[in-house]
Amino acid sequence: MVADDSERLWEDLCECEDQLGLIQEEVEDLKAHIKWLEGWVDLLFTVIADNLSWACFQDLWDAYQEGKDAKELHLSGGTTGSKEGKR
């Protein structure tokens, strides 16, 4: 009986470790996605502050839908999208 309980507890522990690993992977994925979104928020504030054209905004929207990284974009309004401002 004690052996059965120990075995069951060991199986439960192994299952919990597996679930913890999956949760940690999801947390890392979420952190990466949040960082990606932060780049887009910075870029949107730049677009608003620089009062860029509608065409530039459309380029921005297309890039967002394609899943591109905002920090790699170079928009037609002369703005890099980073906090450094205009080129």
pLDDT tens track for 11-47: 989 999 999 999 999 999 999 999 888 888 888 887 7
* Helix ranges (DSSP H) in 1-87: 2-50, 54-65
Q: Where are the domains of the chain?
A: 2-72
Question: What is the dihedral sign for C-alpha 62, 64, 67, 71?
Answer: positive
Please give the structure tokens belonging to residue 83: 């906090």
Q: How confident is the model at residue 83, as a pLDDT?
A: 41
Global pTM reads 0.54
Cα 8 to Cα 25: distance, rounded to the nearest angstrom: 26
